[in-house]
């Protein structure tokens, strides 16, 4: 039987290496099929390799970030790679180690980190979601470039131009920010991370099917923007990744390499579209609601773990409609602002209620949607089916990757999860099958397991 070391030695990169296509996009050699012009993205250098040991200083130096460095990590990511990076960068100039204690990506942490980094020319993040979001947002606000060394393939935000930050009122939102000048992945490091981290990142990729269905449906019914470019970019790698799902749970470098490619290319999609809809629709709203409102019932699970469970929920909900040859019939939207305030608090409820006004339909606008559904449904069903993965296949993939499958697997009370499914649509103006189901009067029965 192969040892883990032998398995990883056999890692097989795509022809051209782990950064194939990515390098072409950065160099302006990839033509955007929607515009016919060379693509332009706000990144200077991306390196994905089976090892970057010994290359850290050269990678950072190539960016010309400045002369005084701050390496930002937490205790775990310092041990995984931060200490190594800080030691390597001493050949370039003074290095301050900023080790955060169990950080959260909220405005309090943003203020504290802004002060701690005030003397640094160059900020080097070593970590994943929270560390990257904090460094991205702080440097964006202070007009400084930064680079990030990944320590886990746990999310697709490394190359995103938004940062997930919790506001003072407790609402978690995606705020405009900027891209890293450099993004560097040592696959030996990220494959050795705790397996649940890569499983969370895999779940963030598995959403493609349900997010694309929600986004195309929204485009067809409400006229919202839609772009196929993010899906063109990641399509081949998504298929390669899914074929290696079990390798995620086994810590294989090859599986993690394809995972990082899909996560990176998905992040690129934000640069092309100016939004994250291609990989964040109904399923992400469920996870965001859990993070914002589960309170003491929150089990401490990662966003990606929650997204995986929510992705299966959305796939099942979408099938309720796609399996029927009869179009849904929606009624005027019923959302009670006072009930929102009871669950969310006055400030957040008011902010969210203002945000979702465009998708609150009165009798006239509900009638217009019904007319479109009646006319389009046979065609729209076929279009949406082309994006869909079978629910059983999605379940198998997530199980093979080692991700949680149910709210119980997350350690989340069933009532808390049910509330998230019922009410997460009240948080953002993204029209999804959650809205269709609610306005059609079936969402409560679905959430209760009766539909």
DSSP 166-230: E-TTS-EEEEE----SEEEEEHHHHHTS-HHHHHHHHHHHHTHHHHHHHHHHHHHHH-----SHH
Residue spans in the chain of domains classed CATH 3.40.50.1970? 4-193
**Cα(74)–Cα(82) distance, integer angstroms:** 8
Residue 134 has pLDDT above 70, yes or no: yes
263, 78, 184, 244: CA torsion to nearest 10: -40
**Cα(447)–Cα(290) distance, integer angstroms:** 15
The residue-averaged pLDDT of 345-353 equals: 96
Residue 184 has pLDDT above 70, yes or no: yes
For residues 150 and 173, is the Cβ–Cβ distance under 8 A? no
Residue 3 has pLDDT above 50, yes or no: no
**DSSP state at residue 358:** G
Residue 8's pLDDT band, with cuts at 50, 70 and 90, is: low
Residue 1's pLDDT band, with cuts at 50, 70 and 90, is: very low
Task: Classify domain 4-193 by CATH architecture.
Answer: 3-Layer(aba) Sandwich (3.40)
Q: Which CATH number fits domain 277-447: 1.20.1090, 1.25.40, 2.120.10, 2.30.30?
A: 1.20.1090
Q: What is the pLDDT of residue 155?
A: 87
User: What would the pLDDT profile of 288-329 be if each residue is shown by its tens digit?
Assistant: 999 999 999 999 999 999 999 999 999 999 999 999 999 999
Q: What is the pLDDT of residue 423?
A: 98
User: What would the pLDDT profile of 361-413 be if each residue is shown by its tens digit?
Assistant: 999 999 999 999 999 999 999 999 999 999 999 999 999 999 999 999 999 99
Residue 203 has pLDDT above 80, yes or no: yes
* CB-based burial, 354-363: b 16+ in 10 Å, e otherwise: ebbeebbbee
Residue with tokens 């046979």: 378
* Among 267, 310, 334, CA closest to 398: 310
Residue 6 has pLDDT above 50, yes or no: no
Q: What is the pLDDT of residue 220?
A: 98
Of the chain, the percentage scoring pLDDT greater than 70 comes to 97
- Angle at the Cα of 424 (from 421 to 430), degrees rounded to 5? 120
Q: What is the pLDDT of residue 274?
A: 85
For residues 155 and 128, is the Cβ–Cβ distance under 8 A? yes
Residue with tokens 């032998």: 6
Q: What is the pLDDT of residue 162?
A: 85
User: What would the pLDDT profile of 257-298 be if each residue is shown by its tens digit?
Assistant: 999 999 999 989 988 888 899 999 999 999 999 999 999 999
* CB-based burial, 395-414: b 16+ in 10 Å, e otherwise: eebbebbbbbeebeebebee
Q: Give 115's Cβ-side CA count (13 Å radius).
A: 5
């Amino acid at each position: 039987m192969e040892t883990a070391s032998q398995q990883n030695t056999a890692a097989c990169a795509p022809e051209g290496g782990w950064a194939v296509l990515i390098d072409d996009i950065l160099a302006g050699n990839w033509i955007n099929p929607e515009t016919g012009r060379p693509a332009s993205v706000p990144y200077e250098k991306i390196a994905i390799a089976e090892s970057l040991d010994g290359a850290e200083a050269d990678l950072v130096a190539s960016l010309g970030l400045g002369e005084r460095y701050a390496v930002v990590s937490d205790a775990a990511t310092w041990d995984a790679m931060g200490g190594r990076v800080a030691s390597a960068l001493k050949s370039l100039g003074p290095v301050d180690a900023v080790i955060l204690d169990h950080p959260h990506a909220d405005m309090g942490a943003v203020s504290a980190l802004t002060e701690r980094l005030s003397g640094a020319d160059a900020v080097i993040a070593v970590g994943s979601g929270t560390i990257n979001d904090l460094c991205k947002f702080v440097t964006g606000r202070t007009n400084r470039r930064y680079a990030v060394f990944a320590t886990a393939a746990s999310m697709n935000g490394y190359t995103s131009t938004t940062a997930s930050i919790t506001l003072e009122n407790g609402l978690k939102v995606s705020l405009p920010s900027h891209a890293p000048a450099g993004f560097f992945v040592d696959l030996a490091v990220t494959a050795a991370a705790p397996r649940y981290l890569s499983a969370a990142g895999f779940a963030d990729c598995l959403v493609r099917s349900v997010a694309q269905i929600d986004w195309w449906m929204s485009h067809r019914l409400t006229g919202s923007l839609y772009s196929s470019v993010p899906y063109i970019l990641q399509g081949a790698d998504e298929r390669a990744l899914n074929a290696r799902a079990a390798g995620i749970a086994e810590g294989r470098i090859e599986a993690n390499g394809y995972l990082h490619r899909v996560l990176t290319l998905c992040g690129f999609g934000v640069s092309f579209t100016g939004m994250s809809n291609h990989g964040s629709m109904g399923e992400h709203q469920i996870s965001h609601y859990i993070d914002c409102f589960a309170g003491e019932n929150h089990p401490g699970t990662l966003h990606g773990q929650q997204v995986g469970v929510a992705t299966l929920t959305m796939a099942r909900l979408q099938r309720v409609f796609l399996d029927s040859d009869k179009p849904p019939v929606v009624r005027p939207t019923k959302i009670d602002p006072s009930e929102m305030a009871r669950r969310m608090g006055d400030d957040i409820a008011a902010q969210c209620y203002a945000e979702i006004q465009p998708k609150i339909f009165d009798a006239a606008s509900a009638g217009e949607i019904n007319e479109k559904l009646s006319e389009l449904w046979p065609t729209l069903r076929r279009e949406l089916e082309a994006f869909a993965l079978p629910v059983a296949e999605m379940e198998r993939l997530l199980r093979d990757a080692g991700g949680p499958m149910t709210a119980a697997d997350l350690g989340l009370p069933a009532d808390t999860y049910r509330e998230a499914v019922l009410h997460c649509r009240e948080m953002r103006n993204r029209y999804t099958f959650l809205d269709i189901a609610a306005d059609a009067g079936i969402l409560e029965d679905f959430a209760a397991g009766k539909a």
